[in-house]
Each structure stands twice: as C-alpha cells, then as structure tokens.
Structure 1
Amino acid sequence: MGHREDLLEGAKRCLLRKGFMRTTARDIVKESGTNLASIGYHYGSKDALLAQAYVALVEGMADAFEGGEKAGPATEPGSVERFQEVWTNVIATMKEPGSLWRLSMEIIVIGDQLPELRDHLAKAQQEAGRGFIPLLMGGREEDVSEEELGTLGMFYVTLMTGLIAQWTFDPKTAPGADQITAGLRRVIEAATGAGAP
C-alpha cells in the first residue's frame, strides 16, 4: 500500500476508536505509519481524510445490508417482505458493540463546526439514497433518476437516520424491522383504504 491507502486505513481505525472530534492528525499519522505532510498532499486536510474514511466504512456495510455472503436479499424487490428483510439486516449492524453508526450521530452534532466535513458527507448521503433504492426496489444504482433519488432515496436515508438515532440513544426501546414494517403496512392500508371496512 502507498501512503494514500495507509492514511485511509489508519483514519478508519482512528474513527472507530476515537470518533471525529478526538482524532488528531498525529493520531492518524501514528496509526498509518506515514507523516503529517502526507495528509495534506493526498487529502487536502485531516477533515477531508476523515470524511473519506467514514464513507469507506459505510460502503463496507453494503454486504451486511444484503444479508452477508449470500447473493443478496431473497425476497421480491419492492415488496413489504423485502423492506422487512433489508431493514432487519440494517438494524443488525446497529446492534453490534462499537457500531460505526455512532459516528453518524457525532457528525450530526458537529456538522456546523466542520463545514468541509459536512459538505463532503452531505454528498455521500445522497449516494447512500441512490444505493438504498436498488437494494429495496431492485434495479441498478446507475439507473436511479434524480427524481427517485430526491424522493424515495431520501425517504430511505431519513428512515436510516432515525433508526441510527434511536439505536444510539436507547437500544432497549429502539424499533426492530418487524415494528417498522408493521408501521409501513398501516400507512399503506390508510393510504389505499385497504384497511377500511
């Protein structure tokens, strides 16, 4: 690996251990075996490096969202069953000790203090919405329209952010996939009149 990759891997480890605010450039250099000048040369700033490291950690969760090593979700794309299956997998990542999702809460709290970090991660959030759509609805990321991204993609990102907040704040009372799926069913019934006598 070169310095760029070493820095990224070191930054990931620092984020998981110390979070954004407590990670210093010197921590990253020590963890990566590189030097301070490498951060500026390869990433522009420590905050930009940490943002890319966070995005890389989140991207590494894609397999877990699909159910691990199997070939992806087993249920029909766009179905309520697919919704429950995927959110079961997503929530499982929140239950793990030292879940990286705690970093998301830190970002929300410190975002206005670190505009470069916030701007970079706001773009990454858009891409997360683009990734959720094919996972839940089928199809390919590259075929997701801007309209779908701005509606359905942001719906899924908003649901994810709420779940992260609840699982971070109080895991004992945070909803499971069965509860949010039951809620979705009730919304569908109310919207379509399917539950009406």
Structure 2
Amino acid sequence: MGHREDLLEGAKRCLLEKGFVRTTARDIVRESGTNLASIGYHYGSKDALLAQAYVSLAEGAADEWGAPLELPGADGSLERFQAVLAGVTESLGKPGSIWHLSIELITMGDKLPAVREYLSAAQREAGRGFIGMIMGGAEPPADDPSVDTLGKFFSVLVLGLIAQHTFDADFSPSAAELTEGIRQLMATAAGPSQA
C-alpha cells in the first residue's frame, strides 16, 4: 500500500475510535505510519480525508448487508424492503458500528463544513444505492427522478432509524415493524376496497 491508502485506512480506524471532531491530523499520521505532508498532498485536508474515510466505511457496511443477489424477495417487494432494513438495524448494535458517526455529523456538521459538503454529495449516492438494493436492478443514473423521490425517502428513513436507535435503542423499530407500517400505509392509501 502507498501513503494514500495507508492514510485512508488510518483515518478509518481513527474515526471508529474517536469520531470526526476528536480525530487530529497527528492521530491519523500516527495510525497510518505516514507524515503530515501526505495528508495535504493526497487529500487536500484532514477533513477531506475523514469524509472519504467515512464514505468508505459506509460503503463497506452496506456491502455486508445489502448485496442484491443475496437479498430475498422480488425486486421492490416488502420482503426485499424488510431484508435491507434488517441489515441496517442489525448493524446498529454491532461493535464497531459506524452509524454513530452519522449522528455526530448531524450534531456537529456546522463545525465540519468541508466534511459536511463532501458528505452531502455522498448522501445522494447512498440514496441511489438503496434504490438498487430495494427496487432491484442497477442503480439509477444520478439525474433519474427516482433519486429525488425514492432515494431521498430511503435515506431519510435510514437516517431516522439511526437517530432513533442512538436516542433510545429499546424503542427503535425493528425491520418487521417498519415494514408493517409501510404495508398499513399502502393499504390505507389504496382505499377500503383494496385493503
């Protein structure tokens, strides 16, 4: 591995141990075995490196629970929806879960403007990923209208789930409860003759 990859791996370890705000450039250098100048050369700033490290951690977590070929149910089905959410809910309580970092970004984002800007763009990509996992098929192109509807819906749902679990894990809904809520909403929207 070169300095760029070493820095990214070191930044990931620092994020999991200390979070965004408490991680210093010196922490990353110590953890990666590189030097301070490498951060600026390869990433531009410590914050840009941390943002990329977080996205890499999130992508790795999603790969663990969201591989479309391994998900049950037909494309776009409630069974598929529940399976994806089950992956998220199961990962929330695992040691080394990255989701607490999302909450740190929400509460401290104004103190991390470079990180916030980078991750705002990455959030759109996450929505595209959820569309692919739940609805099946390839992720839609970035300019597809579903990214601004389904993609945002799935992102808000997952972020709300993370926030609820962080606030009160005992009250946090299970994937089955969320799926039943969606089913009830769909039945109501369809009208009495369709329920």
TM-score normalised by L of structure 2: 0.95
> Which secondary structure does the structure 1 equivalent of 2:70 belong to?
coil
CA deviation map 1:23-54 (0-9, x unaligned): 00000000000000000000000000000000
Structure-to-structure mapping, 1:1-197, within 5 angstroms: 1-66=1-66, 71-143=69-141, 145-194=143-192
Partners of 1:157 and 1:142 lie apart in 2 by: 15
2:22 alignment partner AA? R
- List structure 1 runs of 4+ shifted beyond 4 angstroms: 142-145, 194-197
Same amino acid, percent of matched pairs: 57
Partners of 1:144 and 1:50 lie apart in 2 by: 24
1:183 alignment partner AA? G
CA deviation map 1:112-141 (0-9, x unaligned): 122111000000100000000010001101
Partners of 1:94 and 1:148 lie apart in 2 by: 27
CA deviation map 1:44-65 (0-9, x unaligned): 0000000000000000012222
Cα 1:194–1:57 change in 2 (3 A) is farther
Cα 1:142–1:187 change in 2 (3 A) is closer
Equivalent residues, number: 195
Give the superposition deviation at 1:146: 2.7
The runs of 5 or more residues in structure 1 that have no matched partner are none
* Alpha-carbon RMSD: 1.7
Contact conserved, 2:51 with 2:119, CA < 8 A, in 1? Answer: yes
Give the superposition deviation at 1:195: 6.8
